[in-house]
Structures are given as structure tokens and as C-alpha cells.
């Protein structure tokens, strides 16, 4: 291995072009701006190291040149490991994907070592940068659909899964195989956990029972898989031959080797894990397409019309879905419901009086209930009716006189009532009409007009 170190200049042309475009935009907007320098900026000097690795071609290999390239990469990675050991400098491990699309190769034949045969070796399809530049262009219709963000969409509800899958794909594309394997495992677990929670939310499952099924550890237990199997049917055996079995073998086992034994996965291993994640994602959609009459809200969020169409179920879905009442803010309701499940598992069970705001809940019969509400923790505690300013009381009287409501709530930002000595905190959804957690509208108990 031979090192060639020198100094190169970063091309400033693209930056100068960007500045010119920005200047033109500012000029058209009427903004004032300074003039660009007349002369071109000099290139930015950067340290540059080129590594030359000398390998022996093995005729016994199916592709001696490919084998030599892999050995050369291993030599460089070994050096990087020792370099980090001595300098503590983080260096990205060199992989095939981080190389340029083609690299120069020189062959020398023994014993005539003075005979050189230069050539170029194609090693990848351009790496991450070129693939990003070649992302598919969306049609105007696709852009419109993308910009019309649906608050009850899959991207909102399965956000953690989508983010972890994205991180896995980016890590894999840049050759960070260990990180990719961990992100794939997290994506699969968040997908299955979120799916169970969403199914439970739609069927208005008991919060305590749901928390018990998840358990104290955030992992995919046999009990959770049994719950999914009872709702969605199909093969949910982690030791079977279906997508769950592939998840166990290709994703979970690999994740354990990386997390507990410090294994660095090979590219084929991470590729197999990514394929297993794709198969698991598709299988979830297949099962939901079969049971959409039992779980229409989950099916609508996860599949949408495109998912039903890919499974030849769109006509059946379009015939059935008009009979279903879908809440306008499903993701917000589900997020609050999920937070209550988490509260059963790990709290918090007490709010913070210092950041709480005074809220009055008004009923159509004239009754009032006052609370201090901690919005961050979704907790409320009852308080006696505070003394209001004439202006605030006038606003309340006006609301009552307008009538036509069953229950309303109003927040008072500037009201500072006395804190209760022993606050009794309750989940806000139990007392505030706008803090509901259920898919269906909830009915608050209407108290008598006199406070007990």
C-alpha cells in the first residue's frame, strides 16, 4: 500500500454560480445587495490523499480482478482501523460504494515487471451523489398529491418506521453496513409495534391491557405477534418460512450479532435484510387488504387507494369505504392515545403546575369546571373557579348567551389562579373536549349546574 499526499483546489465555480442566481433573485425582488467581486475567487485548497494498493491476481478465482479489488478494500479498511486506534479520528470505512464510478488499474506481468497495461475498472454506478442527482422526476399530478399532505396519512402515523427505513437506506448507500443493519431492525420493530397500536386504537382496546402486551421492554415479543395474528390472520411465526421468519433470520439475528458481538455485516447480508424489510412491509399491506372490513381506518391509513389497487381490491374498498366515518384528525387522535398507553408503561403521572394554564370547560346547562392543564404531559387537575376580571367574565357570559353547544372549553393565558395544595392529576382526555384520544367522538359526563 502506497500513499500519495498532495494539495488540490476545490472548484468554486458552482458556488459562484449559486451566488449569481441569488443576486438576480434579490434584484428582481427589489432588495438591496452588494456587488459580487469582479475577479473569480481562487480555488479552496484541500489536503488530498490517494492510496495505491498492490495486489496479486489469483487465477483460481472466478473473477481475479474483482477478487483483487475486494482484497484491496480490506487492506485499506485495516489501515483505517489502526489509524483510528492511534489518532482517535473518525474515518468513514472505505467501501465499494464510496469509490468513484471507475478507478485506474495498472497490470504488471511477472517477470516482465517493467511492462505496464493501464485500464479502467468499473466499480459502481456512480455512488450516492450521482444516484441522488438521478432521482426520478415527479409528474405535475404526483407533485400535487404530494403537496396535499393528509394529516391522517401513512407518513404521519408510521413516521418512525419511514424515518428509520430512510436512515437504513442512506447508511447502506454510503457503505455504513453496521449502521444500516441496526436501522433496518429498528424500522421493522417500529412497523410491527405501530401496527399493533393502530389496530388496538381502532378497536378501542383497553389502555392497560395494551400496555401489558407491549411489556416493559421495547421488543417484538411472542405475545405481540400472537395479537397481530389474531387480528390479521396469516403466518406470523418468527420461526416459519414466511415474511416473519425472514425478519427473524435476516434482520433480527443480524441486528443481534452487530449489537452484541460487534459484527460488521457484509453487503449481501445487509441487502438480504433490506429485502426482508420490504417483504414484511408488503405482507402487512396484504393482510390489511384482506381484513379491511374489520379495520377500515388502519387499512385506509396504511394502504390508501394505491395500495388497494396494487392488490386488486380497489373496487371492493371504494364500495365499502363510504359507509365508514373517518375522523378528520386521525393521526392526532392516535398520537394522544399512544401517549396514554406509554403513560401506563412509564408515566408521567404528575403534571407541572408552573407551566400549566387555566382552562374552563363549559356545558350547555350552564355548569362550569375549571382545570390547570399541562399541555406537554397531557394532564389536568381540577381547581375551584378563580376570580375573573370583568372582561373575562363578560366573554364567558356572551358564550353562554350564544348557546347552541353541548360542551366548550376556553383557555386563559394570563390567568394565574392559586395552585392546589394536593393536585389530583388526571389525563386531559377524560375532562377536556378537545383532548380526545378515541377514533369515535367521546361524550363527557354533564355535571349538575352547582359544583359539589
Q: How far apart are CA 326 and CA 178, in angstroms?
A: 41
Q: How far apart are CA 121 and CA 134, in angstroms?
A: 22
Structure-block grid coordinates of residue 359 = 382552562
Residues 6+ apart with CB under 8 A from 270: 172, 177, 180, 181, 184, 254
Based on the fold, state whether residues 406 and 262 are members of the same structural domain.
Answer: no
Q: What is the pLDDT, as a whole number, of residue 101?
A: 84
Q: What is the pLDDT, as a whole number, of residue 132?
A: 46
Asked, for residue 418, whether it belongs to a domain, the answer is yes
Based on the fold, state whether residues 106 and 177 are members of the same structural domain.
Answer: no
Asked, for residue 138, whether it belongs to a domain, the answer is no
Asked, for residue 342, whether it belongs to a domain, the answer is no
Asked, for residue 50, whether it belongs to a domain, the answer is yes
Asked, for residue 333, whether it belongs to a domain, the answer is no
237: exposed, middle or buried (Cβ count in 10 Å: 0-12, 13-18, 19+)? middle
Nearest to 300 by CA among 274, 276, 267, 322: 322
Name the domain boundary from 327, 358, 374. Answer: 327
Asked, for residue 338, whether it belongs to a domain, the answer is no
266: exposed, middle or buried (Cβ count in 10 Å: 0-12, 13-18, 19+)? exposed
Annotate 408-424 with DSSP letters as a single string.
EEEEETT--PPPPSS--
pTM of the model: 0.75
pLDDT in tens, the chain (452 residues): 777 777 766 666 666 666 676 666 666 666 555 555 555 555 667 677 788 888 888 888 999 999 999 999 988 888 888 888 778 777 778 888 888 888 888 888 777 667 778 888 888 876 554 554 445 566 666 666 655 555 556 667 888 898 899 889 888 888 889 999 999 999 999 999 999 999 999 999 999 999 999 987 778 989 999 999 999 999 999 999 999 999 999 999 999 999 999 999 998 999 999 999 999 999 999 999 999 999 999 999 999 888 999 999 999 999 999 999 888 788 888 999 999 999 999 888 999 999 999 999 988 777 889 999 999 999 999 999 898 888 888 888 887 777 777 888 888 888 888 899 999 999 999 999 888 898 766 656 666 655 43
Based on the fold, state whether residues 257 and 395 are members of the same structural domain.
Answer: no
Asked, for residue 136, whether it belongs to a domain, the answer is no
Based on the fold, state whether residues 72 and 174 are members of the same structural domain.
Answer: no
- b/e sequence 83-115, b meaning 16+ C-beta within 10 Å: eeeeeeeeeebbbebbbeeeeebeeeeeeeeee
Annotate 7-36 with DSSP letters as a single string.
EEEE--HHHHHHHHHHHHHHHHHT---PPP
Q: How far apart are CA 9 and CA 1, in angstroms?
A: 25
Q: How far apart are CA 61 and CA 119, in angstroms?
A: 20
Q: How far apart are CA 306 and CA 290, in angstroms?
A: 15
3-state secondary structure (DSSP) of residue 150: coil
Based on the fold, state whether residues 120 and 252 are members of the same structural domain.
Answer: no
Q: How far apart are CA 44 and CA 380, in angstroms?
A: 58
Q: Looking at the chain, how many residues does it have? A: 452
Angle, helices 177-202/159-173, rounded to nearest 10 degrees: 170
Based on the fold, state whether residues 167 and 271 are members of the same structural domain.
Answer: yes
Residues 391/448, Cβ–Cβ less than 8 Å: no
Based on the fold, state whether residues 7 and 112 are members of the same structural domain.
Answer: yes
Q: Give the residue numbers spanning the domain of 314.
A: 152-327
Based on the fold, state whether residues 312 and 168 are members of the same structural domain.
Answer: yes
Residues 379/359, Cβ–Cβ less than 8 Å: no
Q: What does the CA dihedral 272, 274, 276, 277 come to, rounded to 10 degrees?
A: 170
Based on the fold, state whether residues 207 and 311 are members of the same structural domain.
Answer: yes
Q: What is the pLDDT, as a whole number, of residue 451?
A: 42
Structure-block grid coordinates of residue 271 = 441487502
Asked, for residue 34, whether it belongs to a domain, the answer is yes
169: exposed, middle or buried (Cβ count in 10 Å: 0-12, 13-18, 19+)? middle
Based on the fold, state whether residues 81 and 193 are members of the same structural domain.
Answer: no
Q: What is the pLDDT, as a whole number, of residue 90?
A: 74
Residues 3/47, Cβ–Cβ less than 8 Å: no
* Cα 267–chain centre separation: 23
Residues 202/210, Cβ–Cβ less than 8 Å: no
Based on the fold, state whether residues 40 and 175 are members of the same structural domain.
Answer: no
CB atoms under 10 Å from CB of 385, counted, come to: 11
Nearest to 214 by CA among 206, 201, 205, 223: 223
Q: What is the pLDDT, as a whole number, of residue 295?
A: 95
Domains in the chain: how many in total?
3
Based on the fold, state whether residues 307 and 353 are members of the same structural domain.
Answer: no
Residues 103/120, Cβ–Cβ less than 8 Å: yes
Amino acid at each position: 500500500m502506497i500513499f500519495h499526499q498532495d494539495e488540490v483546489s476545490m472548484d468554486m465555480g458552482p458556488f459562484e454560480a449559486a451566488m449569481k442566481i441569488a443576486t438576480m433573485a434579490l434584484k428582481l425582488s427589489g432588495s438591496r445587495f452588494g456587488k459580487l467581486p469582479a475577479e473569480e475567487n481562487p480555488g479552496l485548497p484541500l489536503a488530498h490523499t490517494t492510496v495505491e494498493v498492490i495486489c496479486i491476481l489469483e487465477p483460481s478465482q472466478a473473477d481475479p480482478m474483482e477478487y483483487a479489488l475486494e482484497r484491496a478494500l480490506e487492506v485499506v479498511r485495516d489501515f483505517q482501523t489502526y489509524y483510528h486506534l492511534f489518532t482517535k479520528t473518525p474515518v468513514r470505512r472505505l467501501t465499494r460504494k464510496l469509490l468513484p464510478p471507475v478507478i485506474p488499474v495498472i497490470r504488471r506481468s511477472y517477470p516482465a515487471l517493467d511492462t505496464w497495461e493501464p485500464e479502467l475498472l468499473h466499480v459502481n454506478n456512480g455512488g450516492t451523489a450521482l444516484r441522488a442527482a438521478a432521482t426520478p422526476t415527479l409528474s405535475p399530478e404526483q407533485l400535487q398529491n404530494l403537496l396535499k399532505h393528509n394529516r391522517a396519512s401513512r407518513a404521519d402515523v408510521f413516521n418512525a418506521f419511514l424515518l428509520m427505513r430512510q436512515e437504513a437506506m442512506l447508511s447502506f448507500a454510503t457503505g455504513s453496513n453496521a449502521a444500516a443493519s441496526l436501522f433496518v431492525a429498528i424500522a421493522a420493530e417500529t412497523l410491527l409495534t405501530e401496527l399493533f397500536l393502530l389496530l388496538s386504537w381502532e378497536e378501542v382496546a383497553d389502555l392497560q391491557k395494551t400496555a401489558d402486551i407491549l411489556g416493559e421492554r421495547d421488543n417484538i415479543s411472542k405475545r405481540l405477534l400472537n395479537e397481530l395474528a389474531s387480528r390479521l390472520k396469516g403466518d406470523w411465526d418468527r420461526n416459519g418460512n414466511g415474511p416473519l421468519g425472514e425478519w427473524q433470520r435476516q434482520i433480527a439475528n443480524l441486528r443481534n450479532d452487530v449489537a452484541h458481538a460487534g459484527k460488521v455485516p457484509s453487503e449481501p447480508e445487509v441487502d438480504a435484510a433490506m429485502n426482508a424489510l420490504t417483504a414484511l412491509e408488503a405482507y402487512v399491506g396484504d393482510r390489511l387488504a384482506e381484513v379491511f372490513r374489520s379495520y377500515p381506518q388502519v387499512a385506509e391509513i396504511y394502504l390508501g387507494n394505491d395500495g388497494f389497487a396494487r392488490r386488486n381490491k380497489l373496487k371492493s374498498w371504494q364500495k365499502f369505504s363510504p359507509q365508514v366515518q373517518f375522523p378528520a384528525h386521525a393521526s392526532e387522535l392516535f398520537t394522544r392515545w399512544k401517549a396514554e398507553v406509554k403513560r401506563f408503561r412509564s408515566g408521567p403521572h404528575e403534571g407541572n403546575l408552573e407551566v400549566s394554564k387555566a382552562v374552563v370547560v363549559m356545558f350547555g346547562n350552564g355548569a362550569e369546571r375549571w382545570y390547570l392543564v399541562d399541555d406537554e404531559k397531557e394532564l389536568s387537575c381540577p381547581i375551584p373557579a378563580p376570580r375573573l376580571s370583568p372582561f373575562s367574565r363578560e366573554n364567558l357570559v356572551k358564550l353562554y348567551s350564544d348557546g347552541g353547544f353541548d360542551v366548550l372549553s376556553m383557555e386563559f393565558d394570563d390567568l394565574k389562579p392559586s395552585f392546589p395544595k394536593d393536585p389530583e392529576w388526571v389525563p386531559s382526555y377524560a375532562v377536556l373536549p378537545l383532548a380526545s384520544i378515541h377514533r369515535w367522538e367521546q361524550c363527557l359526563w354533564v355535571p349538575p349546574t352547582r359544583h359539589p
